[in-house]
Structure 1
Amino acid sequence: MPEQVTAQITAQQLAQKFHGTPGRGCIVVTGSGIQAISDLFAEPGASRTILEAQVPYSRKALHEFVGEPTEQHVSANEAQLMARAALKRAQQLAEGDDGDQPLFGVGCTAAVATDRVRRGEDRAHIAWATNTGSGGGSIWFDKQSRSRADEDAIVSAIVLNSIAEALGIEERLEFDVLETERFDEID
């Protein structure tokens, strides 16, 4: 998932591309990334792309969605488990449908700016999975430099970029990574 993009595209334009491209899936976010769901449903045609969107916010809800407790909460491994569970859910929901569209699952787990003291870094891990591949990205934020809304905007962009990757769409949303922050791809 590239950090630098040559052509600028908006979340709305990217959602329109999704809705005009064969492929459907499920998206699950917790902790952050909720704006991505809003962006997807704000554009006509969302029913052609999204089979289901979930926000299992408590640990118990997330464990029930994934089907197992994770070793570490808010980790790349947890995001990958979420993406695979979302893909499995997409396969269940698409079973018996006419057509043979590619299916995807996207999972996002995050700990972002909050109004309480929280140990650990502000971070997010986003993963995607299809029947033929998987990937994603992780970002660690500078706690002193961004608001919760700023962090969610970046996490949501990475969620949308992950859907683009899963659907084979080349365009990506741009997002800035400060010198005091880090973005890594998930293989």
Structure 2
Amino acid sequence: MIVPTDIVPQITAIHASPTRLVLVFAGAGSLGLAWLHAIAGSSRTILEAVDAYAPRSLAEITGHLEASAVSAATAQAMAIWAYRRAQTLSEGNWPLLGVGLTAALRTDRPRRGADHAFLAIQNATACNVEHLVLNQQSRLEQEIAVSRWLIAAIERAVVPAP
């Protein structure tokens, strides 16, 4: 696994920050997690990552939310759960983030709806939710786009703007 050279500085900045994360994925983003782990420092940044692919797993994390699996509400519920989990796992007084990412990528079976993703990041005071429409041709291209988006969003959340 090779990390794209243009995102190495972003990941390095994430790991250089004092922020600790819990990430929850449903449908995409695991490549971004692999990239985070591929750069030294992930053991102090990432407290836990969960791939909630089974509907029952996602339901438990979201509190059986009556929303589409790929929606802003679901991503927000995932991020809130992840933030609370970070509070449980953190040893020390670190800034914490909960990250929730849910996506519908190209598939080998019929599916209704567009290829898109929602990303939510919960901190101590607010939850920011973003939406991404995917136009890439292949599932791998979509996974790469979602993972780049994830890394950029985490960097924005942990690195103060100049």
Alignment TM-score > 0.5, same fold: yes
- Shift of residue 163, structure 1, vs aligned partner: 1.2
Q: 2:40 and 2:67 mapped to 1: Cα distance?
A: 39
1:133 pairs with 2:126: yes
**Alignment length (residue pairs):** 158
Aligned CA distance change for structure 1 residues 39 and 70 (closer, same or farther; 3 Å): farther
Letter in 2 for 1:88: R
- TM-score under structure 2 length normalisation: 0.90
Q: 1:132 and 1:126 mapped to 2: Cα distance?
A: 17
Q: Which has the higher helix share?
A: 2
Which among 39, 42, 59 is matched to residue 43 of structure 1? 39
Letter in 1 for 2:125: T
Q: 1:70 and 1:51 mapped to 2: Cα distance?
A: 28
The alignment-based identity, stated in percent, is 35
Aligned counterpart, 1:27: 23
- Shift of residue 116, structure 1, vs aligned partner: 1.4
- Shift of residue 169, structure 1, vs aligned partner: 4.4
Q: Is the 8 A contact 1:134 1:166 kept in 2?
A: no
Q: 1:69 and 1:167 mapped to 2: Cα distance?
A: 28
- Give the secondary structure class of the aligned counterpart of 1:10: helix
- TM-score under structure 1 length normalisation: 0.79
Q: 1:90 and 1:113 mapped to 2: Cα distance?
A: 31
Question: Structure 2 stretches of 5 or more lacking a match?
Answer: none
Q: 2:113 and 2:95 mapped to 1: Cα distance?
A: 37
Letter in 1 for 2:97: F
Instruction: Name the stretch that deviates more: 34-43 or 145-154.
Output: 145-154
Letter in 1 for 2:98: G
1:15 pairs with 2:8: no
Q: Is the 8 A contact 1:36 1:157 kept in 2?
A: yes
Q: 2:107 and 2:134 mapped to 1: Cα distance?
A: 13
Q: Is the 8 A contact 1:25 1:50 kept in 2?
A: yes
Letter in 2 for 1:119: R
Aligned counterpart, 1:159: 150
Which among 160, 168, 172 is matched to residue 159 of structure 2? 168
Q: Is the 8 A contact 1:105 1:129 kept in 2?
A: yes
- Shift of residue 136, structure 1, vs aligned partner: 3.2
Aligned-residue CA RMSD (Å): 1.7
Aligned counterpart, 1:77: 73
Aligned counterpart, 2:138: 147
Aligned counterpart, 2:111: 118
Q: Is the 8 A contact 2:25 2:101 kept in 1?
A: yes
Letter in 1 for 2:12: Q
Question: Structure 1 stretches of 5 or more lacking a match?
Answer: 1-8, 172-187
Which among 55, 63, 69 is matched to residue 67 of structure 1? 63
